[in-house]
Amino acid sequence: MTRLEELLGDPGPELRVSAAGAPSSGGSDAPSSGSLDTRSSDGPDGPGAGPVLSFRGCTRTYPGPPQVRALLPFDLDIPAGGLVTVAGPSGSGKSTWLSLAGLLDRPTSGTVALDGQETTTLSEIDRTDLRGRMIGFVFQAFHLMPLRTVTENVELAGLYQGMDRATRRDQAAEALAVVGLTPRAMARAGQLSGGEQQRVAIARGLVGAPRLLLCDEPTGNLDTATGAGIVTILERLAATGITVVVVTHDPDLAARGTIRVEIRDGRVHVR
């Protein structure tokens, strides 16, 4: 389990998921033609108008001994929409950066703003609420309940958000349509292929239509062909207005980002 997964509290968000089009067959790892309506009701001049994620003068140092400077000072704006890839060798600071982006940790210095809301001075309760409304998470290891149905696994995100049962069921159905898994909705998660399980994990992250979807090595446990299908889904989601951030060791995937972030020895660069 990564440090990001250990820190994760409530998943989530609260905008409406809207799916359209026919799903693909249950045995395929290709996405459906579904789409997500992630437009904020605040309008073009509201919180959704600027960067969805903004770092200013951020550092992260872990106390020792010995003291570890995991991230050196950096500024970075992540605009709304598009596929952002974050690459770098093991130990470079990627997981630390992702923890800051997901409001799972606080910078040692500097500020992190999510959709225009400065977050570093908020209480933990307020940060948890903001994270739940704005951010979805997808992990390399899927983290599904194998004896529960696909629908029940996806509904779990709505349960954390306080949705009633009917709303959870509707949101789960719409999210599963987006990733092309409607025919597998009542299958047990443990009966699915690796690619299908990751698509369930993506659907779970989409419940509530987050502004930001953070993906930690989402293709790391998959073969090349299946991983390519997952990347296609993420690219299609990014085209709908969700900001999809993918942390990866794969240079080919990193190169597909509309914004490419590289982290080496704690230094954050945009390519």
Give 94-120 pLDDT, tens digit per residue: 999 999 999 999 999 999 999 999 999
Confidence band (pLDDT; 50, 70, 90) for 49? Answer: low
Q: Does residue 3 have a pLDDT over 50?
A: no
Q: Return d(Cα 214, Cα 168) in angstroms, integer.
A: 21
Q: Render pLDDT for 106-164 as a digit per residue (tens, 0 to 9).
A: 999 999 999 999 999 999 999 998 998 899 999 888 899 999 999 999 998 888 788 88
Residue 27 has pLDDT above 50, yes or no: no
pTM value is 0.80
Mean pLDDT of the 35-45 span: 39
CATH number of 3-49+80-89+131-270: 3.40.50.300
- Residues near 136 by beta carbon (within 8 Å), at least 6 away in sequence: 11, 12, 13, 157, 204, 205, 206, 207, 208, 210, 212, 213, 214
**Nearest-angstrom CA–CA distance, 104 and 120:** 11
**pLDDT-above-90 percentage for the chain:** 69
The yes-or-no verdict on residue 39 having pLDDT over 60 is no
Q: Pick from 47-51, 58-62, 126-130 the range whose average pLDDT is largest.
A: 58-62
